[in-house]
Chain A
């Protein structure tokens, strides 16, 4: 037993850190530091820098552009990315549709789509949830009927984040209404420019527009854009659950926020001295750091367990990382906001969205409350924490 990183891993961390220091554009770093969202052109600029380095898709199979890093190195990379702080490349592309196509796509689909997904020439969004299908995703009702060499799709999708930026959408539809719930679902790739696709923005409680409703009215999708087999789409969707867990706890995000909270607390005055000298504040931060350290080690333990298994099947214990990781992301966002005191009061959603700067205001504090609200979503998405508890109760505790 040895919990230390190897010399090689330490050198790798240095290499990654040095690259981010040199390659991350200053304007994008500044936005990330201030907690602002970045625009589509900024995201594309950053992803292409990573892509040129060969680091846009670390977890992919090497023959399709992966780095071949083991899970520990992937974890180190993610943590350094979060701590730089740099924007994370769009997860729909890198963590979801890419790996799904590598596992289930035809040769032709892989050759056409994967390079464009990796470079974000195609920005993908996810068309899974519906008004009546949230945690119970298999209750989805959007239909697809075959008509010659096309599917004709009708229905409504919800929480279609970044749909307004996206070129393509990976979509779950019902192709066999008579089949049992999970059967009869099919996985399709949809061109967002197809006639019949309508996007309606949804502004969330942080004042920002990231997510959408999507209406599909007689949208024609070529049969060639079927992923896997018809009526077997649930297998493709399920494939990702439990995979891609090396970054699920987002320890680096929470670490970066604590570091920033401490930096800001050294400047913010309270009762005639810097807040950082307040023992109650320090103990609150320390308690958070303890939980985060524990999570970091828990994560490394699970990574090393999964790495050793022959089947490489997802470990249901990764739900522990989702639960604790999201709790700590939320706590860190709240902690950071609390440092600001009154300065967190000013509401400027355009600043949060990264559309303008505001030198007259306390710029460092403008995103803190909105990002705290936004952090509430992490325990809801990707299988709510309550669903994760159900999974753990059943699979790990045998209840």
Chain B
């Protein structure tokens, strides 16, 4: 058992943390939300550092990183609340490309992703599906040598600006994945901001025609690929949440030391110290489960993997909600304001909580699978 990062992993962590500390302060973040060109500059620097090609093999044109490397980057992104399409493009679509796409397709797309020239989004969720990954009503039917897609996709992360989309659609009773140019006729999209400033879109696909080779992999294999990519995404999301809650905790500790009431720093009050310690304990519990998810998200045993991922999501959600809510409480009134950082962590954590299955969903899934301890 070894919990240490390698020297290379430590360097990766340092360089991402340093970059974000310099380029993604609270004020800079604010400016990026107002002016996407500023975020594009940071994205360019991510490409230069090799972060965008990180989870792809050398053969695909990437840098051969694994789940640990992805989670290192995600933890720093969560800590900095960085408004970049890293999760949607590199993590989610990256995992889908690894799980479903042919080597040829990867050889075409990965170098462009790594260079920062291509963003992708996964168009999968639908209104009726909630968190059920298998509930897809969008259809793909044969027409000539190609396919015609029809349906509505919702909550597509990064979908408002992504250049290409990976769209799930039903082919008969199977689900298939298609690579679609977002600017193509037949795709209309409504982009919107999420609670934490992240970007999302709802899509309407009407008589969208794609070529035969737009399909990624085989229809029968797509659901397993989606499940696998989702589990990898959840592990990365857990790391992001840990970064966010750890930063919320740090900010709160700083505040308790400087804020004075009754003539003393409020951190000297035992009532607040005890709450702060409970935040620490919750953060460490979440950190442990995020590590567990990182380790398990590539496990070939889908049942084991699923249980571990659901367990991690439950713990990280619960810890994250508790820590960020307490962070606002311990800040008092100032924590309720837009110009105080800490509330933005509550908003971000609320999004992470919902994404790819909330606590109730994953607890149910874990319980139905028999839990973690055999009777």
Minimum-distance CB pairs A-B, first 6: A297-B288, A262-B375, A393-B273, A282-B367, A294-B285, A289-B372
A62 CB to closest chain B CB, in angstroms? 22
- B128 on the interface (CB 8 Å rule)? no
B288:A301 contact, CB within 8 angstroms: yes
B254 and chain A: residue at smallest CB distance: A398
- A107 on the interface (CB 8 Å rule)? no
- A310 on the interface (CB 8 Å rule)? no
Looking at A1-9, A118-126, A199-207, A350-358, the stretch in contact with chain B turns out to be A1-9
A283:B367 contact, CB within 8 angstroms: yes
- A291 on the interface (CB 8 Å rule)? yes
A293:B273 contact, CB within 8 angstroms: no
Which of A1, A289, A386 has a CB less than 8 Å from the CB of B373? A289
Q: Is the interface of B mostly helix, strand, loop or mixed?
A: helix
B4:A1 contact, CB within 8 angstroms: yes
**Assembly CA distance A295 to B278 (angstroms):** 14
**Residues of B63-82 whose CB lies within 8 A of A:** 68
A324:B364 contact, CB within 8 angstroms: no
Q: A262-B375, A398-B257 are in contact. Are A1 and B2 (CB under 8 A)?
A: yes
Question: Interface extent on A, as a size class?
Answer: 35 or more
Contact partners of B291 in chain A: CB under 8 A: 1, 3, 297, 301
B253 and chain A: residue at smallest CB distance: A397
A297 and chain B: residue at smallest CB distance: B288
Interface residues of A (CB under 8 A from B): 1-6, 9, 72, 255, 258-259, 262-263, 266, 276, 279, 282-283, 285-287, 289-298, 300-301, 304-305, 317, 320, 323-324, 386, 389-390, 392-393, 396-399
**Assembly CA distance A291 to B292 (angstroms):** 12
A319 and chain B: residue at smallest CB distance: B277
**Assembly CA distance A387 to B278 (angstroms):** 13
A233 CB to closest chain B CB, in angstroms? 28
A392:B268 contact, CB within 8 angstroms: no
A293:B372 contact, CB within 8 angstroms: yes
Which of A259, A285, A392, A399 has a CB less than 8 Å from the CB of B367? A285
**Assembly CA distance A282 to B364 (angstroms):** 8
B363:A287 contact, CB within 8 angstroms: yes
B254 CB to closest chain A CB, in angstroms? 10
- B261 on the interface (CB 8 Å rule)? no
**Assembly CA distance A289 to B294 (angstroms):** 18
A-B contact pairs, 10 of them (CB 8 A): A1-B5, A1-B9, A255-B373, A282-B368, A283-B363, A290-B363, A291-B285, A389-B274, A393-B273, A399-B256
- B40 on the interface (CB 8 Å rule)? no
A286:B371 contact, CB within 8 angstroms: yes
Q: A286-B371, A289-B371 are in contact. Are A386 and B274 (CB under 8 A)?
A: yes
B319 and chain A: residue at smallest CB distance: A294
B289:A297 contact, CB within 8 angstroms: yes
- B173 on the interface (CB 8 Å rule)? no
A399:B257 contact, CB within 8 angstroms: yes
- B93 on the interface (CB 8 Å rule)? no
